[in-house]
Amino acid sequence: MTRPRFNRILLKLSGEVLMGQGQFGIDPETVARVAQEIADVAKDHELCLVVGGGNIFRGLAAAAKGFERTSADYMGMLATVMNALAVQNALEQIGVDTRVQSAIPMNTVCEPFIRRRAERHMEKGRIVIFAAGTGNPYFTTDSAAALRAAEMNCDALFKGTSVDGVYDADPKKVPGAKRYDSVTFSKVLSDDLKVMDASAVALCRDNNIPIVVFNIRERGNLARVLAGDGVATIVQN
Ligand code: UDP
């Protein structure tokens, strides 16, 4: 099945993508590889990024072990800033112009999130990396990705993860689980399919922003999927 080509996209990178073969943290080699893939497609597309923080800290997991939830979530948001700086660093080392904008202002580290300024950066060909999620506890970077994709008028939200799309059951647990080429937002929500959290899916549905789920760990896949081929699932109305 061929998918439409999109011009302006928001790429969501989950934190686990940045840890390579490790179980935790940031693997510089992996970040450099992902940065190169992003640089390759940035020539033909307008790109902005939202990075997760799960490779460093997850609020919900910490709360389950006794942390107070809102503090834990702020720690998770700070983790996303570290990842954003790592990705920025790797992109700038290969000559790609970037800006990091944080939903939690920290002016000596990066710019605060200002939508109109982000728009201007993108018009000038810079890649804007959105950090600190939505800036609010009880949310995830999936919701931040949906929100920023809507704010920045993106044609699609690309979710780069370690599976090659959306399945009708967990492919790691259920042999013969079927991958969808295309699936509707309503089916994702009614069947509770694992794509992004429900609030992120609902925001994309309401604003008619397709979600493309693909495996970013596979070399060259981002370019292939953006070109309309390559293995992925598109979630749309
Ligand atoms: N987080 C938050 N509000 C947001 C985005 C993120 O509180 O708007 C916190 C939350 O604790 C989450 C952590 O930051 O667990 C890391 O983000 P996420 O789990 O979405 O990262 P990913 O799974 O994409 O690596």
What confidence tens digit (pLDDT) does each residue in 72-124 have?
Answer: 999 999 999 999 999 999 999 999 999 999 999 999 999 999 999 999 999 99
Helix (H) or strand (E) holding 10: strand 8-13
Query: What does the pLDDT average to over 114-136?
Result: 98
Q: Residue 1 falls within a domain, yes or no?
A: no
Mean pLDDT of the chain: 96
Residue 2 belongs to some domain of the structure: no
Q: What is the pLDDT of residue 184?
A: 97
Name the percent of the chain lying above pLDDT 70: 99
Which atom of ligand 1 is found nearest the CA of 144? 8
Q: Is the pLDDT of residue 13 over 90?
A: yes
Confidence at residue 127, expressed as pLDDT on a 0 to 100 scale: 98
Annotate 47-104 with DSSP letters as a single string: EEEEE--TTT--HHHHHHTT--HHHHHHHHHHHHHHHHHHHHHHHHHTT--EEEEESS
- How much is the ipTM here? 0.99
Binding pocket residue ranges, ligand 1, CB within 6 Å: 14-16, 52-54, 58-60, 72-73, 76-77, 79-80, 133-134, 136-137, 139-144
pLDDT of 224 strictly over 80: yes
Distance (Å, rounded) from C-alpha 170 to C-alpha 93?
Answer: 38
Residue 48 is part of a domain; what is its CATH number?
A: 3.40.1160.10
List alpha helices for the chain, DSSP H: 28-42, 59-64, 69-93, 115-123, 141-151, 185-190, 198-206, 221-226
pLDDT of residue 2: 67
* Average pLDDT for 141-158: 98
Query: pTM above the 0.90 mark?
Result: yes
Point out the annotated binding site for ATP: 12-15, 54, 58, 161, 167, 170
Indicate whether 1 pLDDT > 80: no
Cα(33)–Cα(18) distance, integer angstroms: 10
Structural domain contains residue 220: yes
Contact 95, 107 (CB under 8 A): no
* Number of domain units in the chain: 1
Q: Which of 26, 31, 60, 73 to mutate to test the pocket of ligand 1 (most atoms within 8 A of CB)?
A: 73
Domain that holds residue 217: 8-236
Where b means 16+ CB within 10 Å and e means fewer, 132-164 reads bbbbebebbbbbbbbbbbbbbebbbbbbbbebb
Would you say residue 3 lies in a domain? Answer: no
For residue 116, tell me if it sits in a domain. yes
Q: What is the pLDDT of residue 129?
A: 99
